[in-house]
Amino acid sequence: MFGRRVVVVGAGYVGLTTAACLASLGHRVVCADVDAVKIERLRRAEVGIREAGLADLVAEGLAARRLSFVVGAGIALKQLEADDGPAEVVFLCVPTPMGVGGVADLTAVEAVIEGIRDDLPAGAVVVNKSTVPVGTAARTGEMLGRPDIAVVSNPEFLREGSAVEDFLKPDRVVVGSDDPDAAALVAALFTRLGAPAVLTDAASAEMVKYAANCFLAMKLSYVNAMAELCERLGADIHAVTEGIGYDRRIGQAFLDPGPGWGGSCLPKDTHALLQVADSADFEFRLLRATIDTNTRQFQRIVDKVRTAVTGSRSGSLARRRLALFGLTFKAGTDDVRDSPALRVAALLRQAGAELAGHDPALGPAAPGIDPALLTVCADPYEAARGADAVVVLTEWAEYRILDWSRLAELVGTAIVVDTRNLLDPAVVGLAGFAWSGVGAKQPALP
Ligand code: UGA
């Protein structure tokens, strides 16, 4: 006996995770995407994204016949109806990239609604999981022009790299609609997860997503600013974040300093909310400062590298060779969209440095990386050959256990700038490297 009959439109990391996890919860799910090649692969349980546990769930869903993949949302509705009955819930999980002026680009959402408007079974519920501006649920309802179809906002809070775990063990489920019955039906899909459910109106649910991501971004900008102050005053950021993190009102999570925050969500959502605030005639200074602090952080890392390599804040990086360790926006993913590592790389390149990079998740022909910016090497030792400094930009655990003595022999100068405070300064110090981190105390000389 299946749970609900569900169509998921979009097989990106949100859509595919939603589809596979809902199938694992006992629902019958047809997942649609416009990319025929991707769908063909998914039918063979080949998951193109690096997401722990996702491939297993897809394979299980396919084998149990609770999960299937088709090209096109309209086809998904027809197939589900023919196999098991009309769709009860249709999830929209399509991208909402940053459009002109930072505002969310809703072209993909609009195209899907246009395409399925006339095919939606009577009484179906349309759920928006994509991050969309407040008011989109209402606009979706108007675009649908179907009084029998309720629109629900159910923002997702998945992190890339741990999407399955975040879906199956959520801190909360947020469901908003101006039709309380529709909201209750959608919330019931997740009952087995045992998470607190926040049932509210559509606009508030849409706002929750922005409020969460912008708060997280603010937390990180605060930590990075605090790290700079620690450096100036001789304090250690990790002792400070541990000290504040025990306060349950603050919490230990999401307090690691770094080269700045990035990825496909936080930059997009902070800019979008700022844009929305501007258009509501509200000067959201705190959010603007959050973004500006982050932009400044990229430059601060460049200054750190400059000082480490030339011994002066005004030294030249022209023709200096730098090895960049880690290019993805965080460890555990192969995603380089809006990666802080690449933002820093671009500034280093502008300053005239020659860059060789390495990332455990990327091959030499890494898509999304301009070969004019940097050469991607297959192994970190190759990237480090002759370098004036190694710069650690993503917190891959692999870098901790490199043979740092061998690296010391390969590099031109044994300097490492560790923007994630990933390495053990004592270990790399013993290998002969001069280490500098972010907001962290320099190790005592032996
Ligand atoms: C973020 C949110 O964490 C998710 O809750 C949300 O669902 C998702 O956006 C989304 O809107 O889809 P994600 O972009 O996958 O998830 O990545 P995060 O783990 O939040 O990391 C974002 C950036 O912050 C990365 O560049 C990461 O390196 C940086 N970060 C994170 C730090 O510098 N320090 C930390 O302590 C944590």
Instruction: Please answer whether residues 123 and 89 qualify as being in contact, where contact means their C-beta atoms are separated by less than 8 angstroms.
Output: no
Token couple for 206: 């849409």
What pLDDT score was predicted for residue 97? Answer: 84
As a whole number, mean pLDDT of residues 68-80 equals 97
What pLDDT score was predicted for residue 96? Answer: 85
What is the CA angle 237-238-243, rounded to 5? 95
Distance CA 177, CA 203 (A): 8
Distance CA 418, CA 295 (A): 18
Among residues 21, 31, 265, 377, which one is catalytic? 265
Residue 119 confidence class, pLDDT cut points 50, 70, 90: very high
User: Which run of H or E residues covers position 174?
Assistant: strand 173-177
Instruction: Please answer whether residues 384 and 323 qualify as being in contact, where contact means their C-beta atoms are separated by less than 8 angstroms.
Output: yes
**How far is the centre of ligand 1, averaged over its atoms, from the C-alpha of 221 (Å)?**
12
Q: Does residue 445 surpass a pLDDT of 60? A: no
In testing the pocket of ligand 1, which one of 213, 300, 359 has its CB within 8 Å of the most ligand atoms?
A: 213
What pLDDT score was predicted for residue 50? Answer: 84
What pLDDT score was predicted for residue 71? Answer: 98
Burial grade of 281 (CB within 10 A; 0-12, 13-18, 19 or more): exposed
Task: Give the 3-state secondary structure percentages of the chain, helix then strand then coil, rounded to 5.
Answer: 45, 15, 40
Cβ–ligand 1 distance for 220 under 6 Å, the answer yes
**pTM exceeds cut of 0.85:** yes
As a whole number, mean pLDDT of residues 307-321 equals 96
Q: Which residues pair with 30 in a beta bridge?
A: 7, 68
Q: What is the pLDDT of residues 343-378, one digit of tens each?
A: 999 999 999 999 999 999 998 888 889 999 999 999
Instruction: Please answer whether residues 354 and 335 qualify as being in contact, where contact means their C-beta atoms are separated by less than 8 angstroms.
Output: no
What pLDDT score was predicted for residue 258? Answer: 98
Distances 363 to 328, 334, 355 between C-alpha atoms, Å: 12, 10, 16
Ligand 1 atom at shortest distance from the alpha carbon of 420: 33
Distance CA 177, CA 149 (A): 12
Domains observed in the chain:
5-200 (3.40.50.720), 209-291 (1.10.1040.10), 298-436 (3.40.50.720)
Q: Does residue 446 surpass a pLDDT of 70? A: no
Token couple for 90: 């249709």
Cβ–ligand 1 distance for 224 under 6 Å, the answer no
Ligand 1 atom at shortest distance from the alpha carbon of 264: 14
Distance CA 152, CA 262 (A): 28
Q: What is the pLDDT of residues 239-287, one digit of tens each?
A: 999 999 999 999 999 999 999 999 999 999 999 999 989 999 999 999 9
Q: Which residues pair with 325 in a beta bridge?
A: 358, 392
CB atoms within 10 A of CB 283: 10
Distance CA 207, CA 340 (A): 26
The label of the residue with tokens 């997740």 reads 190
Distance CA 426, CA 428 (A): 6
Closest C-alpha among 165, 142, 199, 126 to residue 20: 165
What pLDDT score was predicted for residue 1? Answer: 46
Q: Does residue 335 surpass a pLDDT of 90? A: yes
Cβ–ligand 1 distance for 216 under 6 Å, the answer yes
The label of the residue with tokens 């005004």 reads 314
In testing the pocket of ligand 1, which one of 220, 238, 335 has its CB within 8 Å of the most ligand atoms?
A: 220
Q: What is the DSSP letter of 158?
A: P
In testing the pocket of ligand 1, which one of 54, 255, 266 has its CB within 8 Å of the most ligand atoms?
A: 266
Q: Does residue 443 surpass a pLDDT of 70? A: no
Residue 195 confidence class, pLDDT cut points 50, 70, 90: very high
Q: Does the annotation count 265 as an active-site position?
A: yes
